[in-house]
Amino acid sequence: MPILLTLCDGVILCYLGNLIYSDKELIDSRAIHYQDVFNPISDEHLFDNFQLLLSFAKSINISLDTYNAKYILKRNPSKLASLLIDFINGISFIYLSNKININKYHELIRLVKNNEDISVIHTMSGNQWLQRWINYINGDRVLSDINRTKFNMKLFNAINDDNDYDDYDDNEYSEEYIVKQLIEYIPSTTININDLLSQNEMLQYLFAANLFELKNGIWSKLSNDEKINYKQQNKGKDIDNLECIEWINILLFIHKSDIETITNIKDLCSGYTLLSILDLIKPGCIQRNTIRKFDKINNCNIVISICSKQFDFNLVGYVGSDIIDGNDKMIQSIILQLMQYYSTSKQADND
């Protein structure tokens, strides 16, 4: 509970959010209010901090009981503590997925089953990849569940080539002994023996991610067959991206827009260009005073809202952070639906 008290002004959690997305700074650090011994934070500034935090949480799809800052600040301390814990678990889950994924580690293609859905593979969480990796090294089926009480032992096997333990031995290889050996691999870790012995699932996976980066056992270069398999998993994505980019640039040229042409699907990740395109296709659909060029969270949330409500696009399951993260499938979905909408509206005008 003392730790949670240090989080109650929202400052550390805002910085934690930006640390996870270090290349984007989704929360404008200039908008965060601080307190010190001589200047306690006011209720108004506290509300502002939580409004920033909750907008961020909503945009990256962290599930919370509520996203209303006023409601949260009026609740009792235990409810607030519960919400803060949910936020930390949610941001940790996203951190793992950013840290361990097939786009970063192509070798993970070795853990993919035959005929698995490509869209599923590219949206798998870091937890799911780590579970497959631990099973793979232990000689188990990659899709098997891992009993939390056996997690430390299986993780120990995963990084020890000479050992293959199916259970803890109360004499030489007790769980405490194995956990001590695991922690020795990463002397700089802040996770301690008791953390791993507590069988806290999120801490176990966070620690496993560090071990994976250190020694995962599947580092060898991809064979020619594996390279072909990996390319097949991605070949359709690049073609669709090129078609979307070409269509957008033609649209901008036709309308003599002052928006810069795009060269990569990532150029749309701020949401600003997408909003401008929406306004080109359906003038007046955007309230210009709501757009802030450098506020990615706000802009991308507005894109989702406008596409769903005014264009009636099918974007079920997607949130603003999918645009910020450069989710190809989601951005392509928006553009393809825009292409169809634009074509249909032009035909109606000609009729």
Q: For residues 70 and 29, give the distance between their C-alpha atoms in angstroms, rounded to a whole number.
A: 21
Positions of the chain with pLDDT under 70: 1-5, 22-25, 37, 75-76, 117-119, 161-173, 218-240, 290, 292-294, 350-351
- pLDDT of 129 reads 92
Quick check: is 222 in a domain?
A: no
Is residue 239 located within the same domain as residue 206?
Answer: no
- Residue at a domain's end among 99, 118, 135: 99
Is 264:289 a contact under the CB 8 Å cutoff?
A: no
Q: If DSSP codes are grouped into helix, strand and coil, which group holds residue 287?
A: coil
Quick check: is 226 in a domain?
A: no
The 8 Å CB, 24+ separation contacts for 264-270 are 265/241, 265/326, 265/328, 265/331, 265/332, 266/326, 268/323, 268/331, 269/296, 269/300, 269/323, 269/324, 269/325, 269/326, 270/294, 270/296, 270/299, 270/300, 270/324
Instruction: Please state the domain count of the chain.
Output: 3
Is residue 190 located within the same domain as residue 117?
Answer: yes
**Which candidate, 66, 70, 11, places its Cα nearest to that of 41?**
11
Secondary structure, 3-state, 295-348:
CHHHHHHHHHHHHHHCCCCCCCCCCHHHHHCCCHHHHHHHHHHHHHHHHHHHHH
Is residue 322 located within the same domain as residue 242?
Answer: yes
Quick check: is 221 in a domain?
A: no
Q: For residues 307 and 183, give the distance between their C-alpha atoms in angstroms, rounded to a whole number.
A: 48
Is residue 37 located within the same domain as residue 139?
Answer: no
Is residue 278 located within the same domain as residue 306?
Answer: yes
Quick check: is 316 in a domain?
A: yes
Is 300:59 a contact under the CB 8 Å cutoff?
A: yes
- Residue at a domain's end among 99, 124, 158: 99
| 270: CB partners within 8 A, 6+ apart | 293, 294, 296, 299, 300, 324
Q: Helices marked H in the chain — which ranges?
A: 2-5, 11-20, 43-59, 69-74, 77-99, 118-121, 126-137, 151-159, 175-184, 193-197, 201-214, 224-254, 272-281, 296-309, 320-324, 328-350
Q: If DSSP codes are grouped into helix, strand and coil, which group holds residue 32?
A: coil
Q: Which domain holds residue 203?
A: 106-214
Query: Alpha carbon of 201 to those of 45, 62, 130: distances in Å?
Result: 34, 18, 12
N-to-C CA span, the chain: 67
**CATH code of residue 263:** 1.10.418.10
Quick check: is 338 in a domain?
A: yes
- Residue at a domain's end among 214, 244, 259: 214
Q: If DSSP codes are grouped into helix, strand and coil, which group holds residue 104?
A: coil
- pLDDT of 233 reads 58
- pLDDT of 130 reads 93
User: For the CA atoms of the chain, what is the radius of gyration?
Assistant: 24
Q: For residues 295 and 342, give the distance between their C-alpha atoms in angstroms, rounded to a whole number.
A: 27
- pLDDT of 162 reads 58
Quick check: is 224 in a domain?
A: no
- pLDDT of 75 reads 61
Quick check: is 145 in a domain?
A: yes
| 166: CB partners within 8 A, 6+ apart | 153
**Which candidate, 39, 43, 51, places its Cα nearest to that of 13?**
51
Quick check: is 62 in a domain?
A: yes
